[in-house]
Structure 1
Amino acid sequence: VTQTQPDGLQDGQEAVGTGSTSNVAATDNVFANIGLDTDNDAVNFNFGELRSTLTKRDLLASRFGN
């Protein structure tokens, strides 16, 4: 599974999920060798993303719980 990096976000760390029957290789925006048995799901495979910048609006929203 390959992800195209979203605009406005920095690449973060990928998180390998569960359910694969093989050793999954996780590299920059790619999960490879995901093996599945019949009627199995692979879940919680996440592409980590980070905000590029912290804005004044973000800071104020977090301070006031918005």
Structure 2
Amino acid sequence: MNISVLNFDAYKIDVNPASRTLMGVSAYDADGATVLANFDIEEIVNHFGAAELLDEIGEQIARRHFEIEG
């Protein structure tokens, strides 16, 4: 059995059965940054995809990063 634990604050949550073994959880007014802190960067990249993340970062910031970092 794979157990995941996520820790973050939310104003309200709803918990509903999704199947015989899974629960669906909806969190309201949760801070996205504290939710993302529950995942490592590899999981985030795999979920969103490198191209989408690079698009969000923007070409100028990415260029500056690689010029500085070499």
Range class of TM-score, shorter chain: under 0.3
Which structure: greater helix fraction? 2
Structure 1 length normalisation: TM-score? Answer: 0.27
Q: Structure with the greater relative contact order (CA < 8 A, sep ≥ 6): 1 or 2?
A: 1
